[in-house]
A and B are shown apart, each in its own frame.
Chain A
Amino acid sequence: MKRTIAYLSLLFILGALLYIANPNYGLKFGPGGSEWLALRYTDNYYITHGLKEVGGMNIVTDIVFDYRGYDTIGEATVLFTAIAGAIALLRPWRRDEA
């Protein structure tokens, strides 16, 4: 019974997402021209000003390390925590060491 409700709600969420992803009602795919400037003005700013403001040729690196460096710090922290957790959990039990 519970499982049926779970599958039905999964189906409902999938239908809602498909409705949103329809270009006639929601998201636009591959915007160009004036749509590009209206929907992707942040990307346009990065592409236009990235080379002058940060100095790197690789715009992805410019964004990841300079414009949005806090995100990269968080990402590095997540990696650090994941590896610390994995190593801490996979140590041998105390009675096995001997």
Chain B
Amino acid sequence: MGLIVKTTARAIIPLIGIFGTYIVVHGHLTPGGGFQGGATIAGAGILFLVAFGLDEMKEQYNKSLYSALEGIGGLTFLGVAMLGMGVAFFYNTLWHNGPFFNGQPGTLLSAGYLPIMNLAVGLKVFTGLVSALTTIALYRRWKS
């Protein structure tokens, strides 16, 4: 892409990233959450891919790292869901009698495991969508 597009992308990508992180972190307080915020941050990654081209993306993108991060996101989700295994699966033990994340409803450090789950799902969606789009961009065989 041209110079104007590259400069604008350089200015906008951090803003999209911050906004997506805000959506993920405030998932238990405002509309949004892990899936929506993760897709927003993945939009920043796709803007990077479109604006700077595939060669630049190849240097920044690490397939093993992104695959590992996606797995870690899913495992964090499952691990947090199993915290209250003494009562039931998906028992929100951090909220009922946990050491942290048990503040007044409406504050950032409240709602038990919901913020951790939002972060895990956001990480998973972001890395997954960026990996998928980069793989599609790397598929450059127009004939046969």
Q: A residues near B, CB below 8 A?
A: 51, 54-58, 60-62, 64-66, 69-70, 72-73, 75-77, 79-80, 82-83, 86-87, 90-92, 96
Known interface pairs A51-B105, A73-B81; A61-B27 also in contact (CB < 8 Å): yes
Of all chain A residues, which has the CB nearest B127? A83
B34 to nearest A CB, angstroms? 8
Count residues on chain B whose CB falls below 8 Å from chain A CBs. 39
Of all chain A residues, which has the CB nearest B139? A90
Q: Closest 4 interchain pairs by CB? A: A56-B28, A56-B111, A69-B90, A55-B111
Q: List 12 A-B contacts (CB under 8 A).
A: A54-B92, A54-B111, A55-B105, A57-B29, A60-B31, A61-B111, A66-B112, A79-B128, A80-B74, A83-B70, A87-B135, A90-B139
Q: B residues near A, CB below 8 A?
A: 27-33, 35, 70, 74, 77-78, 81, 89-90, 92, 95, 102, 105-106, 110-114, 117-118, 121, 124-125, 128-129, 131-132, 135-136, 138-139, 141
Known interface pairs A62-B114, A69-B81, A87-B131; A76-B74 also in contact (CB < 8 Å): yes
Known interface pairs A70-B90, A83-B70, A83-B131; A58-B27 also in contact (CB < 8 Å): yes
